[in-house]
Amino acid sequence: MRLIPVITALLVLGVLYFVIFERDQLVAFAQGDAAPAAEAINETATATAANNTAASAAVGVVAMHSTAQTIDSAVVLRGRTEAARQVSVAAETSGLVISEPLRKGASVSEGDMLCRLDPGTREASLAEARARLAEAMGRVPEALAGVTEADARVREAEINLNAARQLSEDGFASETRLVGAQAAMDAATAGRQRANSAVASAEAGIEAAEAAVASAEREIERLEITAPFSGLLETDTAELGTLMQPGALCATIIQLEEIKLVGFVPELDVRKITVGAIAGARIADGREVQGLVTFLSRSSDELTRTFRVEVTIPNQDLAISDGQTAEIIVASEGQMAHLIPQSALTLDDDGVLGVRTVDADNTAKFMAVTLLRDTAQGVWVTDLPDALDIITIGQEFVVDGVAVAPTFQEAKG
């Protein structure tokens, strides 16, 4: 029973010996075995701290790989339909309407009579003008006869003057006789001039009379107001018994076999449209049509700074009416663009529209974009590199240079 206390006492003495007399060797032994373990622990702790720091600094975002595609950069306009031709047919003279009216919606052909006016005394005026023309034409032979007579007197006076001059030189006639012959010659010449003037006056009288006849005939022609082209009546023609004055409306005609789509393009897009370009449109009732750009204004509207565009389309069945709302799409040259979700768009501090991208070193970077088109699949934007990573979720929580931890999703095509 005394053996156990003895052993215990020996062990205590041995421990005390090493602690007191062999303390340096014991410490060195303990340090030599623990250093590698402590170093390993320190390295592990440092790496874990670094990882925790990096993880806490990087912002988790969702991004997509995007590659530019060639798209048809069509210009979309809001517009309306217009009749290819429309005219308000008005009276050119005064008079009472004596024809039955045609009702609006009726189809008329070129030359059809729309309104007939009472001739009144116009036929009598025409007869008077024709009589004056006949009278003026009768004066011409008389004037020509006067010219012939005047020529004969000039020749007679010339002969007498030559004879008097010869006799005066030979001393057989007095100076008085020579002067008289010269006076007769001058009088005959003046008579011939008067005869020629009478002929010119008679010819002028004929022209005046012909003009009066033409005016009377034209006045009678104006009594029948006809359709200048084929089309539809947009209004009733003037009612029977209406007193028409020059400029008074007889009827309005529109032509719809061809119809125009009219839109207004902003000044930033006007360079994208050319005359002859293919254009399509969707009418308000859902009908889709196609035609060509036939007119592009070179002068902008002073208020809106937009340019008028006209697209001509066939409308043989008259299914499209004047004044309908239309969405017009004008084709233009294709360009490279990215299709991205609309939610990926953001604004920088200056209010510039753009997207935030993942840079090569996994940091956020803002890039400005130009919005081309809004579709059901997303928005088409340009002014970006051909390939890049775009942040689609979380772009509002980062700024340029902030580290990000992206999770990628499939791009829309």
* Contact (Cβ atoms closer than 8 angstroms) between residue 250 and residue 225: yes
Residue 37: pLDDT over 90: no
Q: Where are the beta strands (DSSP E) in 267-363?
A: 278-283, 288-296, 306-314, 325-330, 335-340, 346-347, 353-358
Tell me how far apart the alpha carbons of residues 18 and 20 are, in angstroms, rounded to a whole number. 6
pLDDT of residue 38: 44
The pTM of this model reads 0.53
How far apart CA 309 and CA 199 sit, in angstroms, is 61
So what's the pLDDT on residue 190? 85
Q: How many CB atoms lie within 10 A of CB 248?
A: 15
Distances in Å between the Cα of 333 and the Cα atoms of 71, 114, 258, 359 are 9, 49, 27, 31
- Tokens, residue 221: 């022609």
pLDDT of 82 = 93
Instruction: Write the pLDDT tens digit of every residue in 166-214.
Output: 777 766 666 677 677 778 888 888 888 888 888 888 888 889 989 999 9
The tens digit of pLDDT for each residue in 345-354 reads 999 888 899 9
Task: Tally Cβ neighbours within 10 Å of residue 80.
Answer: 16
pLDDT tens readout for residues 45-78: 444 444 444 444 688 889 999 988 887 667 889 9
Question: Which among 253, 238, 241 has a CA at the least distance from the CA of 91?
Answer: 238
User: Given this model, what pLDDT does residue 412 score?
Assistant: 52
pLDDT at residue 212, as a whole number = 92
Q: How far is CA 351 from the centre of its chain?
A: 31
Model confidence over 113-167: pLDDT tens digits? 999 999 989 999 999 999 988 888 888 888 888 888 888 888 888 887 787 777 7
